[in-house]
């Protein structure tokens, strides 16, 4: 009997391709063996509530791929032994294997799987009240404009650009847009030769940690800080130091002596949302000179910051060449596109390009070309204007409600951002307990203990983000969260 298939008509992928994908997967997994008869076109169309032409088209596609075969007056049958061969090969390898567990062979310096990261349900968007951070509300994504820019990028005249292997190079158009339009509004003026396109800021940090790291090297970062940065730095440096954060940002003191690299989020500290003071910025730059270390600056949420005078990044103040600046299009455009950029002295960019090239050569050129067109056409600037207005509305509403309903919980949530940090000293109100109970009510909030070097210290903290939840749902979602907290107090 043929495995049951399911169709989701809300997805962007076509109905025919959904059928082809599911049957192919079942064949390759060995769940539809060679010689098995498929449902007739009429039967499958009725079962899936699609047109018979859709099923006929899907079966013809599978025939072209030599996975099924039509028999006259009999129907369609699986004509591939891929699944059988795959399963037999897997079993034979297991029998023949006498090797030690692969975990024993992994370089211990490179392992950081004992460090937790902030997690959320994979299907978070299906929950009623997703107060998740660093995601977008899909209703705000300019699908029509992005589709048009994709069409422009895929034009015949640009075929040679995006269809060929670019070796280690980036899209000249995207480099130009970053150099002339993105960076200058952050007070950074650098030539294209000082810019590298990355698959997000995390990719830029990993490249940097590989180039600076080693068993005899020391890195430092904020505490609390971004847990994924902690994983990256811990896996590539011999030692990692944690610098406390106060209401002026990272504390700069003697503990930074003998450090090789310092990772910071000055304009919107992760996770506290604090903005580093001008005094502390100058102290950090002076310490970099005095102690001979380099600074990696993640300009987190810079594009969507709606303050009237957003603080310029550290890079704009630096004249020593000690700044490696990481930026991203994710917060404004879409986290799933994974596009970012890195700017630093040309000598460093050359090394970073070579390092990136050994991993992935370059981010997909068609994606770079589309993003370049999106910026060039003014679509990105228009999107940012709309997002800033929208995020300010959301932040003001959430801030008012939280101050009224949970004044003893609110720890931080600086104006200009999209996240609020909450905590209680009541031992019954552990952040994971609150998050677990809230999830059962359809409310997602995120525990922050992974952000602390001492996770026990962070067990009372959780954050609430407003970038991905509809404005109309913020009040009722916070009200449900308050009910959950009241229940846990009893």
pLDDT score, position 288: 96
- What CA–CA distances, in Å, run from 99 to 91, 95, 110? 15, 11, 21
pLDDT score, position 82: 62
pLDDT score, position 338: 86
- The pLDDT tens digits of the residues spanning 60-79 come to 999 998 899 999 888 999 98
Least confident of 282-291, 327-336, 369-378, 450-459: 327-336
The pLDDT-based confidence of 145 (bands split at 50, 70, 90) is very high
pLDDT score, position 103: 65
Strand ranges inside 249-344, DSSP E: 249-250, 261-264, 294-298, 323-328, 340-343
pLDDT score, position 360: 86
pLDDT exceeds 80 at position 112: no
Tell me the three state secondary structure of residue 261: strand
| Shared domain check, 76 and 169 | no
Task: State the total domains in the chain.
Answer: 3
pLDDT exceeds 60 at position 142: yes
Q: Give the predicted TM-score (pTM) of the model.
A: 0.79
pLDDT exceeds 70 at position 109: no
| Shared domain check, 360 and 249 | yes
The pLDDT-based confidence of 337 (bands split at 50, 70, 90) is confident
| Shared domain check, 147 and 133 | no
| Shared domain check, 406 and 366 | no
CA–chain centroid gap for 341, Å, is 14
Tell me the three state secondary structure of residue 325: strand
Mean pLDDT of 466-485: 95
172: how many CB neighbours lie within 10 A of its CB?
13
Give the CA angle between residues 296, 171, 370 to the nearest 5°.
100
| Shared domain check, 442 and 409 | yes
Q: What is the CATH number for 244?
A: 3.40.640.10
| Shared domain check, 481 and 426 | yes
Q: What is the CATH number for 399?
A: 3.90.1150.10
- The pLDDT tens digits of the residues spanning 298-335 come to 998 888 899 988 889 999 999 889 999 999 988 878 77
Q: Which residue has the higher pLDDT, 178 or 410?
A: 178
The answer for 255, left when phi > 0, alpha when psi is -120 to 50, beta otherwise, is alpha
Could you give the count of Cα atoms lying within 13 Å of 279 in the half-sphere of its Cβ?
A: 3
| Shared domain check, 365 and 434 | no
- The pLDDT tens digits of the residues spanning 221-255 come to 999 999 999 999 999 999 999 999 999 999 999 99
Counting residues of the chain whose pLDDT is more than 90, the rounded percentage is 65
Q: How far separated are the first and last CA of the chain, in Å rounded?
A: 53
pLDDT exceeds 80 at position 207: yes
Q: Decide if 116 is inside a domain.
A: no
| Shared domain check, 451 and 320 | no
Mean pLDDT of 268-276: 94
Q: What is the CATH number for 25?
A: 1.10.10.10
Q: Decide if 97 is inside a domain.
A: no
Using CB atoms within 10 A of its CB, is residue 198 exposed (0-12), middle (13-18) or buried (19+)? buried
The pLDDT-based confidence of 280 (bands split at 50, 70, 90) is very high
DSSP assignment, residue 472? G
Query: Residue 63 sits in which domain range?
Result: 15-83
CB 405 within 8 A of CB 188: no
Q: Which residue has the higher pLDDT, 429 or 167?
A: 429
Which residues does residue 244 pair with via DSSP β-bridges, in sequence order?
223
> Quick one: CA dihedral 91, 95, 100, 105, positive or negative?
negative
Mean pLDDT of 368-393: 93
Q: How far apart are CA 417 and CA 7, in angstroms?
A: 39
| Shared domain check, 386 and 367 | no
pLDDT score, position 111: 66
Q: Decide if 108 is inside a domain.
A: no
Which of 379, 396, 429 is a domain's end point? Answer: 379
| Shared domain check, 421 and 357 | no
Which runs of consecutive H residues, i.e. helices, occur in 112-200? 143-153, 159-163, 172-177
Mean pLDDT of 193-210: 94
| Shared domain check, 149 and 19 | no
| Shared domain check, 157 and 129 | no
Tell me the three state secondary structure of residue 338: coil
Q: Which residue has the higher pLDDT, 440 or 362?
A: 440
Q: Which residue has the higher pLDDT, 2 or 26?
A: 26
CB 213 within 8 A of CB 232: no
């Amino acid at each position: 009997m043929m495995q049951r298939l399911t169709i989701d008509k809300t997805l962007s992928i076509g109905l025919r391709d959904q059928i082809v994908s599911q049957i192919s997967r079942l064949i390759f997994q060995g769940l539809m063996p060679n010689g098995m008869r498929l449902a007739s076109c009429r039967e499958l169309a009725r079962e899936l509530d699609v047109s018979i032409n859709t099923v006929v088209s899907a079966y013809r596609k599978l025939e072209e791929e030599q996975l099924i075969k039509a028999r006259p007056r009999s129907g369609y049958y699986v004509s591939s032994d891929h699944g059988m061969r795959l399963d037999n090969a897997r079993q034979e390898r297991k029998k023949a294997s006498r090797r030690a567990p692969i975990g024993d062979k992994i370089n211990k310096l490179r392992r950081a799987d004992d460090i937790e990261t902030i997690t959320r349900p994979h299907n978070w968007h299906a929950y009623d009240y997703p107060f998740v951070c660093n995601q977008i509300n899909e209703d705000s994504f300019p699908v029509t404009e992005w589709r048009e820019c994709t069409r422009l990028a895929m034009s015949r005249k640009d075929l040679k650009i995006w269809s060929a292997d670019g070796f280690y190079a980036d899209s000249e158009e995207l480099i130009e847009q970053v150099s002339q339009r993105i960076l200058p509004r952050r007070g950074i003026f650098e030539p294209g030769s000082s810019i590298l396109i990355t698959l997000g800021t995390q990719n830029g940090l990993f490249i940097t940690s590989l180039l600076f790291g080693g068993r005899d090297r020391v890195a430092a970062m904020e505490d609390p800080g971004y847990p994924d940065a902690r994983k990256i730095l811990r896996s590539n440096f011999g030692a990692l130091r944690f610098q406390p954060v106060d209401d002026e940002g990272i504390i700069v003191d003697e503990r930074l002596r003998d450090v090789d690299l310092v990772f910071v989020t000055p304009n919107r500290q992760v996770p506290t949302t604090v903005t580093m003071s001008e005094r502390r910025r100058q102290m950090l730059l002076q310490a970099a000179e005095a102690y001979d270390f380099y600074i990696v600056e993640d300009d987190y949420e810079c594009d969507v910051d709606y303050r009237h005078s957003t603080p310029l990044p550290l890079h704009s103040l630096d004249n020593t060449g000690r700044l490696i600046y990481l930026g991203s299009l994710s917060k404004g455009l879409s986290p799933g596109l994974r596009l970012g950029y890195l700017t630093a002295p040309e000598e460093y960019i050359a090394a970073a390009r070579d390092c990136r090239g050994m991993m992935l050569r370059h981010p997909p050129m068609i994606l770079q070309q589309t993003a370049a067109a999106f910026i060039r056409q003014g679509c990105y600037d228009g999107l940012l204007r709309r997002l800033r207005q929208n995020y300010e509305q959301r932040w003001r509403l959430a801030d008012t409600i939280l101050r009224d309903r949970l004044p003893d919980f609110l720890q931080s949530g600086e104006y200009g951002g999209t996240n609020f940090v909450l905590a209680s000293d009541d031992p019954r109100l552990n952040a994971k307990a609150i998050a677990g109970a809230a999830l059962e009510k359809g409310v997602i909030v995120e525990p922050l203990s992974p952000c602390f070097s001492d996770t026990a210290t962070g067990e009372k903290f959780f954050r609430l983000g407003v970038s991905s939840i509809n404005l109309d749902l913020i009040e009722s979602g916070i009200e449900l969260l308050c009910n959950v907290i009241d229940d846990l107090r009893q």
